[in-house]
Structure 1
């Protein structure tokens, strides 16, 4: 079976909120198992209870109000917030079978999220020099609607992306999200495009073939 085939990837969709530390331990164990050839690759879609996570580049001054638990995530990037109403996608893939190209992996995730948002009627894009997924907020200014943060251990990936469906946006004010002070954070609900987590998952997974094709360096429909 080709490594580009979606049949090689397990899809897990959690309806319950998974504590962040529990998810981190599960990811680490799965990462090791994939690396040993003892488990399938995994895309895990879920939500967390409120938590601030610190990436490897997080600066102490960007933690403004630690009203929630703060967890060292081990991924790239800075501080971010996860909580109810935000859909997380953890992507555990074996890049030894998919080109060993971390930059292409990140770009493929970005394109996957951007294309899915487009499918539900929200124009989104990458922004030069700013990590994440961006769109136009209700006031016409650019705002962040999705975050990207990954880690690669022995060519097997961990972490992934988050998309704001309908979180409490006030929770982001406890940090400088991803170290970017001059732009706000938005959500599908704020933009007047409310979407249930199950519907988001379906739209995202409809693009799984495109994501895997892009990751494997093949032509795809992703931006």
Structure 2
């Protein structure tokens, strides 16, 4: 009943306009809660843009290339999305799977770390920082971002993993409010894996992610 097989796994080719993705999320989240619609994980890419979370500080937006900026409604600050970045939107019912938002975020981090590990990247969490990190010292950098919202116990938004984006585009913001560290990508790390390889790794580790979310509910 609560397994990963119940979830629609949706993958979009091409670049999905952000307003289209936001409208889909809003409607699907409503339908999950009000109509018992199927949960969904949607993997996609966006054209170059910035999104502003609920804690976004205008002083952290420079935007020299004039990319569009969208109010996202998720937690966090400014985030860049663009070609070469795998974005994952998660529309999951925590009322059914366990009402534990911290567990959900921790499980999401673990899912990303496990998928990246399969691709040869030693990724990790860092205490006090949001996102997924690689490297040490001067080479420490962020490879994945997380920004979620939970409405009526349905999750919206999700994560991004830098596969091979134009990293110079991140210079238009202070990514997620963290100015002291850079951003990196699989390509920058010398990992020749495209979005399809990332998708496959995420799919293989999906059951563990879902099991971790549901464990609090199953134990109650």
Q: What is the TM-score of this pair, normalised by structure 2?
A: 0.95
Matched, 1:43 2:60: no
Matches within 5 A, 1:1-223: 2-3=1-2, 5-65=3-63, 67-136=66-135, 141-217=139-215
**Contact 1:165/1:194 (8 A) holds in 2:** no
CA distances 1:89-113 after superposition (whole Å, capped 9, x unpaired): 1000000011100111111110000
Secondary structure of 1:36 counterpart: helix
CA shift, 1:19, in A, is: 0.5
SS at match of 2:42: strand
Residue 61 of structure 1 and its aligned partner are, at CA, apart by 0.1
| Superimposed CA distance per residue, residues 63-100 of structure 1 (whole angstroms, 9 cap, x where no aligned partner) | 01252000000000000000000000100000001110
Moved over 3 A (4+): none
Count how many residue pairs are aligned between Structure 1 and Structure 2. Answer: 215
Separation in 2, partners of 1:165, 1:100: 32
- Structure-2 separation of matches of 1:101 and 1:35: 17
* Structure with the largest fraction of strand: 1
Per-residue CA deviation, residues 37-75 of structure 1 (Å, 9 max, x unaligned), is: 341000000000000000000001000125200000000
Mapped partners of 1:148, 1:58: distance in 2: 14
Question: Hey, what's the Cα distance between the residues in 2 that align with 1:68 and 1:207?
Answer: 34
* Partner SS for 1:49: coil
SS of the residue corresponding to residue 37 of structure 2 reads coil
Give the match's secondary structure for 1:189: coil
Contact 1:166 1:194 in 2 (8 A): no
Higher helix share goes to which structure? Answer: 2
Partner of 1:58: helix, strand, or coil?
A: coil
Which runs of 5 or more structure 2 residues have no equivalent in the other structure? none
Consecutive unaligned residues in structure 1, runs of 5 or more: 219-223
Aligned to 1:221: none
Contact 1:98–1:216 at 8 Å: present in 2 too? yes
* DSSP 3-state at the match of 1:188: coil
RMSD: 1.2
